[in-house]
């Protein structure tokens, strides 16, 4: 089992938990850069960001699990983790008007 696979699993699980907390708990104030004065619909923002982060957590956990189960180094798969991170940045910019 590769150390990078374990780290990817742990980070994916963390993203999953934070995403669920934002989504189900409707806590937009946890989102970095959240300004209640500029947000037209805080509940929609929490739902959108929470779902996105939850899905990215599942994807990261799947990558870590695949690396651990199939004894594949997770280093080449880390590039696939960068895509969800960029997705979060894009999601934040797209939801700025919410």
Q: Helices 3-25 & 78-94, crossing angle to 10 degrees? A: 20
Q: Helices 3-25 & 42-69, crossing angle to 10 degrees? A: 160
Average pLDDT of span 63-71: 80
Q: What are phi and psi of 95, to 5 degrees?
A: -100, 15
Residue-wise pLDDT tens digits, 80-97: 666 677 677 777 766 665
Residue-wise pLDDT tens digits, 29-65: 888 888 888 888 889 889 888 988 888 888 888 888 8
* Rounded Cα distance, 78 and 82, in Å: 7
* DSSP assignment of 53-79: HHHHHHHHHHHHHHHHHTT--STTTHH
* Rounded Cα distance, 1 and 63, in Å: 13
Report the predicted TM-score, pTM, of the whole model to 2 decimal places.
0.71
Q: Which residue has the tokens 């990215």?
A: 56
């Amino acid at each position: 089992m590769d150390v990078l696979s374990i780290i990817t699993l742990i980070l994916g699980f963390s993203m999953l938990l934070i995403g669920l907390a934002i989504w189900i708990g409707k806590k937009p104030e946890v989102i970095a850069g959240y300004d209640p004065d500029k947000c037209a619909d805080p509940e929609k923002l929490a739902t959108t960001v929470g779902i996105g982060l939850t899905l990215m957590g599942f994807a990261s956990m799947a990558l870590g699990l695949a690396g651990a189960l199939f004894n594949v180094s997770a280093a080449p798969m880390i590039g696939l983790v960068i895509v969800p991170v960029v997705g979060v940045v894009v999601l934040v910019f797209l939801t700025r008007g919410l």
